A and B are shown apart, each in its own frame.
Chain A
């Protein structure tokens, strides 16, 4: 069996698993798996770019995903009336002042001769800058958050189409990645991991607490859909031609409308995935991709050949994070809401890592396959766990404490299974399902 046949078969198997979900459970569930699988595949391409191509250990994926989600709110929701005049500009000014303080401190720290004077000036600039920043920032924030706190209390967005927010999410994530990369990329791999882990937590903390930005844990609902590709169920149900078509398929109009909306998302996501996959493949084959892998395999040798390792690392770190940002924006669009409280590193960072490693790090198709497979398992392990628990407890007497505990705990089988899969793949097939060529 040649390699391409094997790989096609693997994709067919995973596609068959999703179809099986459609036949045995419901088509709604199957398309949900498909949609999140598509988004996961984009995330996996981003992580694969960083880890598979360049060997960068980024465990801050969650942060970039969240920034993508934030971009959706900032771009596509309508602006809150009066928010800008009652404090919006003040907030911007405060942020600029804060940035100026940091820049000034860095300049002093790098330009002044070393010594006590340098340290003291730096500290003084930081302290004064901090208090000035807070003096401008606090009243402005209070002003913005006072506007209808029950439904708004934030700045709102630019009221642009939500599709614009996807690249914007990528840009926002790329900007953050540039800042992080500038400071943390010179460090060794373990430190980069800790640094990205920390940054992701900080981004989530900011999104949870800065209500003026995106309402914090009060969440933002009603994010517009990317119409006309994705419509609204009610409109479709009132559309006679749609009802006629649904009838022709033999479907209830209500079910047909929800399926149609979800398939609209699938179409959009598929286009983005194919475009990014094509780009990643081209990058992998190009001289640039070969250089990246050369750096990954032997940094010292690459440096001796005149490659600027740190710069190349920064480049690919920014690119990979931008892809994660796009995926995050798409995810928030799919949900129709931004809920900062639900970002969890196990689900948004480490699960993506499992996808990339199981699929095959260094191979874009592997990453995509891994994403679909792991996402399918992530969703289906719960019902499978429940079935399994019912099986092994079937001989126990009803009402026994152990039986009810086992059945209740079936929901927690997920993490255990994912860890087991990761360890088994790392041990017996460390290059993944579709290994790097």
Chain B
């Protein structure tokens, strides 16, 4: 019995808690990708760098706040900086849309042209971020490190395994839930949200019923910037801020969005958690959990790690391929064929 509890705690500590946090971050990122796909109808390669840009502003504002002595108690100061970062990111994407994307929208360019254009935007944003903050790792998290640390948990429960929950993980979950709730309330209950969904379902019909497309596009960008910045800041708090890592996040984020069904917000969330859980479970060394559960004679000798952690990309990718081959529209019906 004790062994089972220990196994459960070890499992939560090393698999469930990190995967939930990572999954929330991916889900927020994938929501941005999926909204762009639904409304603007292209895969935005610059999304990772949009996240990096938003997070960068948060880092800079956090440093500023720390310098004048503002803090948020046990919570990271970055949360106070988040609204400013979102605002900055909104300004950037709106400028980008005005200068770059609008031209192609008016031309009704093919989606693949827009993808290439987003590649150019990706270069520019990547360059901007490196130019302003440099390519290195930046730490900006402060406040209490743990909600509950492994040692406290052990002394509290008397178990041999500890369960540590980092503040950043707790915040990630709370913020993600709030953000998703707000988004769905907006999409389903407000007039503007409904017009967005109508536009996404059938552009011509929406235009006929008097929906202003430029307004829909603008609101989409604003929401996407907010989601991307939130995802970027949460990821940065949980791991650390490094511009190139955000670029690499593009792959799992796209995998999440496609697995769930591109253009479908609910799918993006599910996809994010599917990708996160599979990445973590496949690259986790199961020895610890198995030694508690399995009888003595069957105790594993190796690490029982399916793949080394460096292959986590391969995992998200394999899932992506399987879904594409067997259910090309994604698990939840997306709009892409």
Contacts and interface: CB of A to CB of B under 8 A. Distances in A.
B117 A423 contact: yes
B308 A209 contact: yes
A190 B116 contact: no
Most buried by B among A197, A414, A419: A419
Given A198-B251, A413-B131, A357 B116 contact: yes
A318 B126 CA distance: 31
A314 to B, nearest CB: 16
A94 B130 CA distance: 43
B299 interface: no
Contacts of B116: 353, 357, 422, 426
Most buried by B among A55, A201, A408, A413: A201
B174 interface: no
A183 B113 CA distance: 24
A199 interface: yes
Interface string B248-262: 101100110010000
Interface in A157-208: 183-184, 187-191, 193-195, 197-199, 201-202, 205, 208
A346 interface: yes
A423 to B, nearest CB: 4
A354 B135 CA distance: 22
A392 interface: no
Contacts of B337: 188
B127 A414 contact: yes
B100 A209 contact: no
A423 B310 contact: no
A140 to B, nearest CB: 15
A427 interface: yes
Interface residues of A, number: 44
A278 B159 CA distance: 72
Nearest to A204: B313
A198 B320 CA distance: 10
Contacts of A417: 127
Contacts of A198: 251, 255, 313, 316-317, 320
B127 A419 contact: yes
B120 A426 contact: yes
Given A414-B127, A415-B126, A415-B130, A208 B310 contact: yes
Contacts of A357: 116
B321 interface: yes
A423 B100 contact: yes
A426 B115 CA distance: 12
B313 A201 contact: yes
Interface residues of B, number: 48
A413 B135 CA distance: 12
Nearest to A187: B324
A418 interface: yes
A137 interface: no
B22 to A, nearest CB: 17
B328 interface: yes
Interface in B91-120: 100, 103, 111-113, 115-117, 119-120
Contact of A195 (B100, B306, B320, B336): B320
Given A202-B314, A357-B116, A416 B308 contact: no
Interface in B247-296: 247-248, 250-251, 254-255, 258
A201 B248 contact: yes
A340 to B, nearest CB: 11
A419 B121 contact: yes
Contacts of A197: 250-251, 254
A418 B123 contact: yes
A412 interface: yes
Interface string A272-316: 000000000000000000000000000000000000000000000
A430 B109 CA distance: 11
A242 interface: no
Nearest to A202: B314
Contact of B123 (A55, A422, A427, A430): A422
Contacts of A191: 258, 324, 328, 336
A409 B120 contact: no
A419 B123 CA distance: 5
Contacts of A427: 100, 103
Given A201-B248, A346-B126, A183 B321 contact: yes
Interface in A203-247: 205, 208-209
A409 B308 contact: no
B120 A423 contact: yes
A57 B115 contact: yes
Given A205-B310, A205-B314, A419-B120, A194 B254 contact: yes
A201 B312 CA distance: 10
A209 B306 CA distance: 14
Interface string B36-80: 000000110000000000000000000000000000000000000
Contact of B130 (A184, A412, A423): A412
Contacts of A199: 317
A409 B134 CA distance: 7
B128 interface: yes
B46 to A, nearest CB: 9
A208 B115 CA distance: 29
Interface string A394-426: 000000000000001100111111111011001
Contacts of A418: 123, 127
Contacts of A190: 42-43, 111-112, 115, 336
A112 to B, nearest CB: 15
Interface string A348-392: 001001100100000000000000000000000000000000000
B258 A194 contact: yes
Interface in B200-256: 247-248, 250-251, 254-255
A209 B336 contact: no
Nearest to A414: B127
B82 interface: no
B112 to A, nearest CB: 5
B127 A350 contact: no
Nearest to A423: B120
Contacts of B178: none
- 3 shortest interchain CB distances as A-B pairs: A419-B123, A416-B127, A419-B124
13 contacts: A193-B115, A195-B317, A197-B251, A198-B251, A198-B255, A198-B313, A202-B311, A202-B313, A205-B313, A205-B314, A350-B119, A422-B123, A423-B124
Interface of B: 42-43, 100, 103, 111-113, 115-117, 119-128, 130-132, 134-135, 247-248, 250-251, 254-255, 258, 302, 306, 308, 310-311, 313-314, 316-317, 320-321, 324-325, 328, 336-337
Given A415-B124, A419-B127, A427-B100, 15 more contacts: A57-B112, A197-B254, A198-B255, A198-B313, A205-B310, A345-B247, A412-B134, A413-B131, A419-B123, A419-B126, A423-B100, A423-B117, A426-B116, A426-B120, A427-B103
